[in-house]
Amino acid sequence: MPIEFRCMSCDKLLRTPDETAGRQAKCPACGVVMTVPEATGSPAGSASGGESPFGTFYDDRPRDSVNPYEAPDEIPAGDSPFGASLSPSGIRPTRIGFGDVLARTWTVFTEKWGMCLAVALVCVIINFGVGQVSQIICQLLIMAAGPVGIFGAIVVYVATQVFGLWINTGQAIFFVKTARGHDAEFTDIFTGGPYLLRVLGAGILFSLGGAAILGICLAPAGALALAKAEDAAIIAMICGFSVGFIAFIAYTLTFLPYFYLIIDQNMGIIDSLTEARRVTSGNRLTAFGILLVTGLIGGVITLFTCGIGLLAVLPYMSLLYVVLYLSMIGQPTAGRFADNPI
C-alpha cells in the first residue's frame, strides 16, 4: 500500500511505495527534501488527521500536557522569501545537541560546498572592494574639503557599512535556503533589501545593549580614575574587562539568532530580539561550546594550511550559524528533522 504524506513546505500530497519508508524524498513541486514517514492510516499532516509530516514524534505526547517552553501559536512567516514556516507548529523551541548540529551542518556542507564557497567568497570580495574604494574616497574628502570633507567622509563610511549589511543579509538568505534544502540561487545575495531597515534597527539595539553592559562593568574603573586612585583604577579596569567580557558573551548568546528571525520569520525589531531570547533558553551553553570548538578547529586548520583551509572553514562556519538557528527553533535542515523538543 503506497505511503501518503504531505510536503512540509507546500502541503502537496505525495505518494511513494511502502518500501521507501525512512528514505529521503524530494517534493516535485517545491524541491524540498524530507524523510518519508512510516505508513499510517491517513496522510501525514492532512487536515483530517492533523498529523505532523515529522511522523509521530510530536504527536505521541499527551494532548493535555502543558509545556511552558512551547510556542502556543504558530508564528506566520508573512512575506518571508521562504514562504510559510516549514514546521507545522511554527517556531518550536528545541533543545539542541552538540553532535547533532555538527552532523546536520556537515550533511549540508558536503552536498553544497562548492556553491556555498563561491557565495561566501564573492560576498567577502564585494565587501572588501567596496570598503577599499570607500576608504580612498574618505581620505580624499578629508584632505580636499576640511570640515565639510570630514562630514562627507562620515556619510560615505555609514553608506559603506549599510551596503555591507545589505550584502550580508542577502548572504544569510542564501544560506538559510541552502540549509533547508531549498533551491538557493547566487542572486539571493542581492535580495536583502526588504529586511535591511529591521536588521539595521535590531543591530543598533543589540549594539547599544552590549555597550551598556561594558559601560556598567567599567564604570568603577572610570570613577576611580577621576578620583586619581590610579592603582585601584587599574585593578578595577582589569576586573571590569574580565567581567564585561564574560557578560558580553552571555549577552551575545542570548540574542544570537535575532538576525535570522528577521529574514526567515519576517519578524519586527523587538519581536526578533524577544523571540531570540526565548529560543536560546536552555541552549546557550551548548551553542557556546559548538562555536568555541568549531572556531578553534577552524583557526588551527587555517593556520596550518597557510590560509588554504579557509576554503572549507568559511562555508562551513556560514552554514553552522544557520543550522544552529534552525535547530533551536525546531525546524528541519536538508534531510534531517529537529528532535528533542523541550
Do 141 and 244 sit in the same domain of this protein?
yes
Distance CA 280, CA 233 (A): 36
User: Is residue 8 a part of any domain in this protein?
Assistant: yes
- The residue-averaged pLDDT of 106-119 equals 92
What is residue 87's three-state secondary structure?
Answer: coil
Q: Number of C-alpha atoms within 13 angstroms, CB side, residue 98?
A: 9
Here the cell at position 249 is 558573551
Whether the per-residue pLDDT at 57 is higher than 70: the answer is no
User: How much of the chain exceeds pLDDT 90, in percent?
Assistant: 57
pLDDT at position 56, please?
38
- 54 pLDDT band, cuts 50/70/90, is very low
Do 51 and 107 sit in the same domain of this protein?
no
Identify which has the larger pLDDT, 154 or 12: 154
pLDDT at position 316, please?
95
Give the least confident one: 24-33, 227-236, 311-320: 24-33
- 170 pLDDT band, cuts 50/70/90, is very high
pLDDT at position 149, please?
84
pLDDT at position 21, please?
76
Which runs of consecutive H residues, i.e. helices, occur in 79-229?
A: 98-180, 196-226
Whether the per-residue pLDDT at 62 is higher than 50: the answer is no
- 209 pLDDT band, cuts 50/70/90, is very high
Identify which has the larger pLDDT, 77 or 200: 200
Do 28 and 146 sit in the same domain of this protein?
no
- 56 DSSP 8-state letter: T
Whether the per-residue pLDDT at 238 is higher than 60: the answer is yes
Do 224 and 268 sit in the same domain of this protein?
yes
- The residue-averaged pLDDT of 234-246 equals 93
Distance CA 196, CA 164 (A): 11
Whether the per-residue pLDDT at 64 is higher than 60: the answer is no
Do 41 and 122 sit in the same domain of this protein?
no
Do 33 and 118 sit in the same domain of this protein?
no
Do 112 and 60 sit in the same domain of this protein?
no
- Nearest partner of 327 among 170, 183, 176, judged by Cα: 176
User: Is residue 89 a part of any domain in this protein?
Assistant: no
User: Is residue 92 a part of any domain in this protein?
Assistant: no
Whether the per-residue pLDDT at 303 is higher than 70: the answer is yes
User: Is residue 42 a part of any domain in this protein?
Assistant: yes
Query: Can you give the residue range of the structural domain that contains 215?
Result: 98-328
pLDDT at position 335, please?
65
Structural domain tally of the chain?
A: 2
Do 117 and 196 sit in the same domain of this protein?
yes
Cα dihedral 174→179→185→187 (10° resolution)? 0
pTM (two decimals): 0.71
Do 50 and 156 sit in the same domain of this protein?
no
Q: Are 189 and 171 in contact (CB under 8 A)?
A: yes
- 85 pLDDT band, cuts 50/70/90, is very low
Whether the per-residue pLDDT at 70 is higher than 60: the answer is no
